[in-house]
Structure 1
Amino acid sequence: MGITARGLGLLVAGVLLLGAGFRFGYPELTLLGAAAGVAVAIAVLTAAWRPRLQVRRQADPDRVARGEPATMTLTLRNTGRLGAASLLAVDRCGDQVVPVPVLRLRPGADTTVRYEVPTARRGVVPVGPLRVTRRDPLGLVVLARTYGDSVPVWVHPRIHPLRAVPTGAGRSLDGQVDAVPHGSITFDSLREYVVGDELRRVHWRTSARVGELMVRENVDTSLPRIVVLLDNRMAAHPQRVRGTAESFESACEAAASVVTAAVREDLPVVLLFVAADASEVGTGQESPAVQGGPTGPLDRLAAVSLTGEGTLEAAVARLRRERLGDTLVVLTGPGGREDLGHVGALRGAYPSVVVGVFGAADPTPAGTGGLLVVDAADGAAFAAEWDGVRRW
């Protein structure tokens, strides 16, 4: 609650009038001072009345690609019983403020407002909460309250269709690494038995040791496993305009395109950031969530931002230690070319390594670290170059 300049002036005048009236014995001044005090008190009570409002929001859709339209529908209902509500209300939509007309909203009635959500930039656009401001009739006191929760609208990077998808590589028993057209099943880990598991998969020796049934988990070792490493360091994207690095936005588009192409082909894919976030896991189980879960790769690409933390050397050490796949796609900016030597050290752990460099003024020197480097100005150019790659 805040008192306006008019209310503050009236309150000060009332105190002075009361003091002068009592001091010099003027009842008229005392009456005026008391009236001023009563007016401020009534204003406080009027503004403090809390209307009972119910706020509902619906984003259509709540996940869009950059530049696609998204509409937010706000429904405000007066659930009170005493009287109509006339309020000043505004809704927050990202950095914008949207006015919501609430004039003579009778009990049980509702009003609906629709407006466009800005999707010109990749990111997570917070919508809400609704801010309602109440004033007394004399404009002496102002009180603002919030109603409803904040709802995110996920603006994903643009996706450029990729025709080519890595075929993967598998290690044969004689030590060679070849492209594998057919799968092979290999033991991966043990887990507890659940109803429905085949008894032939029970590992009886381990079950006897731990005292409960344990079953074998197998994986297809020849199935292509793609790892996408996005360089989100500020040092890798030094050219920024108003805090936005176009090279980083292009790298996000390339990452979204590769992830989507892998999901389309039912291939396991893992999305990692050089400056790792808490949601990163080394399981490769994220790809199904691309359809809409808040932990899916596209949502993470919408939320990721540049940071001064993290090093490419640490990310490479993690990739070498965990060996999450057989095809590694590294996406960086012009400032990341100096660290490509660290990426080149992964060629022994990952049979196929592709590096995308965005926003560089000149092409990357040929043979850098023995890597396949794709120089691109933006995500569309990367997609064209990607489809032209003949070896992985």
Structure 2
Amino acid sequence: MTARGAGVVAAAVMLLAIGFLFGYPDLALLGAAAATAVLCAVAFGLWRPRLGVDRVAEPDRVPRGEPASMTLTVRNTSRLRAANLVATDRCGPASVPVPLLHLRPGRDTTVEYPVPTTRRGVVPVGPLRVTRDDPLGLLTLSRAYGGTTTVWVHPRIHLLRAVPAGMARSLDGRIDKVPHGTITFDSLREYVVGDELRRVHWRSSAKVGELMVREQLDTSEPTIVVVLDDRAAAHPAQRDGVAESFEAACEAAASIVAAAVREDLPVALHLVSGPVTGPFLDVLTEAGLRDGDLTRTVRSLRRSRLGDTLVYLTGPGGRSDLGTVSALHGPYPVVIAGLFGDPDAAPVAAGGGMIVIEAEDGEQFAGAWDGVRGW
């Protein structure tokens, strides 16, 4: 209810009370008129227009800074009334006005507007919020229509021409650096028709209550393991809630993943804060700063030996942890560290066989990456 509506309600109560208690019929009549106006406003507000809302994002996944648009179609599905409404569509933190003037039954209107992609992250779009005012301005009602759509703003990908081959060789001979690996256990999954019974893990099957099959990993293929340091302590410098060093690290991780996929090389992505699920670019889009235990992560990487090339990406706060990561040079023949957002600090001396790349942003990292020799 608006301030005017609250005043009319208070006046109606007061006029009716004085009119009936002290015998002033004119005041009672004014109070009854005010009460009737309020009741009419409520009846007007209770009518809910029937609207169909469809929205299409084009595209729904876009690199940071690239254009993306949302097409919103609103259809009046009512049969008796024409809708004359004020509507806004939520797009991230902003609201986009949607004109619905004289939207008659069976008609629709389409609005297209840009989606902000200046920041990496998931941009929620919707729902459509329709606001209705009664003719006297006594009551304002707002209702939501339609669901929500998300636009994924991925980190920018910079072209990396060089890809570390590690110390393993693909079976087709494209990567030619020393020995073959072996077939080893990777994970468990449910049995499907056609699986070999010798791959059934009977102990796990007994615990779960259904057949579980061992998934094997061919370690003869060179595998790149990307470890993104998403600890808040590793990226202390923030501006407007955004740590530029972490944004640069996300761009570097996305660039490495894209380069590995382009070369048909296996790649794995890990966050210091914990395990990841889903497409890697979506994981990097949702990644944020949180608590994490680097020591536990290093211990897990040493025990698992997930690949032959390890790439560790961190910020200014991770400079002191490079020695801990360099200890992985034994299980991983090639260890590379990317250090972002600390241009004024003294250069890091590469030790323990670890390659250190210092950069201010993703683009500078890509140039330094292609200049590395001796992989």
Same fold, TM-score > 0.5, yes or no: yes
Q: Distance in 2 between matches of 1:375 and 1:26?
A: 86
Structure 1 residues 247 and 28: CA distance shift in structure 2, 3 A: same
Structure 2, unmatched stretches of 5+, are 170-175
Give the 3 Å change call, closer, same or farther, for CA 346–213 of structure 1 in structure 2: same
Aligned-partner SS, 2:130: strand
Partner of 1:312: 294
Q: Which segment is superposed worse, 53-62 or 162-171?
A: 162-171
State the shift of 1:202 in Å.
4.7
1:166 aligns with 2:159: no
CA displacement at 1:74 relative to structure 2? 0.3
Bigger CA drift: 364-373 or 321-330?
Answer: 364-373
Residue pairs, 1:1-392, within 5 angstroms? 3-170=1-168, 179-180=177-178, 186-188=183-185, 194-197=192-195, 202-203=197-198, 218-276=216-274, 280=276, 295-307=278-290, 309-360=291-342, 361-392=344-375
Aligned 8 A contact 1:185 1:218 in 2: no
Q: CA deviation at 1:343?
A: 0.5
Structure-2 change in CA distance of 1:371 and 1:108 (3 Å): same
Q: Residue type of the partner of 2:18?
A: A
Q: What is the distance in 1 between the residues matched to 2:50 and 2:125?
A: 21
Cα-to-partner distance string for 1:52-103 (whole Å, 9 max, x where unaligned): 1111010110111111000100000111112001111001111111000111
1:372-392, Cα deviation, whole Å (9 max, x unpaired): 101111111111111111223
Report the more deviating stretch, 36-45 or 312-321: 312-321
Q: Residues 228 and 255 of structure 1 are in contact (CA less than 8 Å); yes or no, is this contact kept in structure 2?
A: yes
Say which is worse superposed, 112-121 or 262-271, in terms of deviation: 262-271
Specify every segment of 5 or more residues in structure 1 that has no aligned partner in the other structure, as ranges. 172-177, 282-294
- Sort the Cα spacing of 1:44 and 1:160 in 2 relative to 1 into closer, same or farther, 3 A: same
Distance in structure 2 (CA, Å) of the matches to 1:248 and 1:111: 41
* C-alpha separation in 2, matches of 1:344 and 1:12: 74
Work out the CA distance in 2 between the residues paired with 1:49 and 1:72: 29
1:364 positional shift: 3.1
The letter for the 2-side match of 1:46 is F
Note if contact 1:192-1:214 (Cα within 8 Å) is conserved in structure 2. yes
The AA in structure 2 aligned to 1:324 is L
Distance in 1 between residues matched to 2:304 and 2:217, nearest whole Å: 16
DSSP 3-state at the match of 1:160: coil
CA RMSD of aligned residues (A): 2.6
Q: Secondary structure at the match of 2:268?
A: strand
Change (3 A) 1:216 1:240: closer
Could you say if the C-alpha distance between residues 366 and 10 of structure 1 is closer, same or farther in structure 2, counting changes exceeding 3 Å?
A: same
Structure 1 pair 204–367 and aligned structure 2 pair: CA distance change class (3 A): closer
Letter paired with 1:52: R
d(CA) in 2 for partners of 1:4, 1:298: 47
SS of match in other structure, 1:356: strand
Secondary structure of 1:54 counterpart: strand
Deviation at 1:192, TM superposition (A): 7.0
Change in Cα spacing, 1:303 to 1:219, as seen in structure 2 (3 Å) is closer
Which amino acid in the other structure matches residue 10 of structure 2? V
User: What is the distance in 2 between the residues matched to 1:351 and 1:255?
Assistant: 20
Structure-1 residue corresponding to 2:173 = none
Relative to the length of structure 1, the TM-score reads 0.86
Q: Please give the TM-score of this superposition, normalised by the length of structure 2.
A: 0.90
Residue matched to 1:288: none
TM-fit CA distance, 1:214: 8.7
SS at match of 2:222: coil
Q: Percent identity?
A: 62
TM-superposed deviation, 1:203: 2.6
1:151-176 CA-partner distances (Å, limit 9, x unpaired): 110111111111111213249xxxxx
Q: Show the counterpart of 1:287.
A: none
- Whether contact under 8 Å (1:247, 1:358) holds in the other structure is yes
Aligned residue for 2:160, secondary structure, equals coil
Look up the equivalent residue of 2:144 and give its one-letter code: T
**1:4 Cα shift?**
0.5
